[in-house]
């Protein structure tokens, strides 16, 4: 098992950004109303089963030939993709919304389909979040039941993946309920083409690199404001 890299929230966000490979095709599982924004692929498949979220996506991306919406549950939609047919697969704030059994089966499908990378972002451990059917979600829509958390994930669930952990990432859940103490978050990244040199470096060196890139981004933002 690869040793997790533990960083502050700003450094963890930066490292994740540096570790994500820009590719031509993306499968974005359970994107809700916000597809992944790390980069813009040539083709971006979004799996989203809830009709209200689908309508928001259609409105936000009207006229875009790049975004393809698949309105099915992930466990069904994933079966329609051929082996090695997608460069990158994202599951951002999604896998905790299905059971552990469903999640493991879905990851197995993803490893069959992905050519270059799988990126998962989820709370570390179980993060309480319960909704009733018809409840309003954090976006103000009526998809509350889709936002209930059904599983918790740890680094040990991702053998031979690259793991980034931020111990004090979440102050509240999607309902706005404040936690008694901050909850950790985790990125699990699986590379199929080579390895990322950043994960071979000591954590102090990684912190220097992430801080340097964060400073660079601030300078660029200031120059082009």
Rounded to whole angstroms, how far apart are CA atoms 186 and 172?
Answer: 16
Res 225: pLDDT = 73
Res 1: pLDDT = 62
Rounded to whole angstroms, how far apart are CA atoms 47 and 36?
Answer: 12
Domain ranges of the chain: 5-200
Give per-residue pLDDT as tens, 191-215.
Answer: 997 777 888 899 999 999 999 999 9
Contacts of 50 (CB under 8 A, 6+ apart): 32, 143, 146
Label residue 220 by pLDDT band (50, 70, 90): confident
User: 3-state class of 61 per DSSP?
Assistant: coil
Give per-residue pLDDT as tens, 133-150.
Answer: 888 998 999 999 899 999
Give per-residue pLDDT as tens, 8-64.
Answer: 999 999 999 999 999 999 999 999 999 999 999 999 999 999 999 999 999 999 988
Question: Phi, psi at residue 219, to the nearest 5°?
Answer: -65, -45
Give per-residue pLDDT as tens, 56-86.
Answer: 999 999 988 999 999 999 999 999 999 999 9
Q: Give the residue carrying structure tokens 């958390």.
A: 149
Q: Does domain 5-200 have CATH number 3.40.50.150?
A: yes
List strands edge to edge, sheet with 86-92.
5-6, 162-172, 178-191, 114-123, 86-92, 25-29, 43-47, 67-70
Beta bridge partners of 165: 6, 186
pTM of the prediction?
A: 0.93
Instruction: Give percent of the chain with pLDDT exceeding 90.
Output: 82
């Amino acid at each position: 098992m690869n040793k997790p890299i533990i960083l502050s929230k700003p450094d963890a966000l930066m490292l994740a950004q540096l570790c994500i490979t820009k590719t031509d095709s993306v499968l974005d599982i359970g994107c809700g109303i916000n597809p992944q924004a790390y980069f813009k692929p040539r083709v971006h498949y979004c799996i989203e089963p809830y009709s209200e979220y689908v309508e928001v996506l259609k409105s936000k991306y009207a006229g875009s030939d790049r975004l393809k919406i698949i309105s099915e549950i992930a466990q069904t939609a994933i079966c329609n993709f051929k082996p090695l047919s997608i460069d990158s697969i994202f599951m951002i704030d999604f896998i905790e919304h299905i059971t552990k059994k469903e999640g493991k089966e879905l990851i197995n499908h993803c490893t069959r389909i992905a050519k270059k990378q799988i990126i998962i972002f989820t709370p570390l451990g179980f993060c309480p979040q319960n909704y009733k059917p018809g409840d309003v979600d954090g976006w103000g829509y009526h998809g509350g039941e889709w936002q209930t958390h059904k599983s918790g994930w740890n680094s040990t669930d991702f053998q031979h993946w690259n793991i980034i952990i931020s111990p004090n990432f979440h102050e509240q859940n999607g309902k706005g309920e404040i936690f008694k103490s901050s909850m950790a978050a985790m990125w699990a990244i699986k590379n199929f083409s080579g390895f990322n040199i950043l994960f071979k470096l000591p954590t102090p060196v990684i912190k220097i690199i992430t801080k340097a890139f964060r400073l660079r981004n601030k300078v660029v933002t200031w120059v082009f404001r």
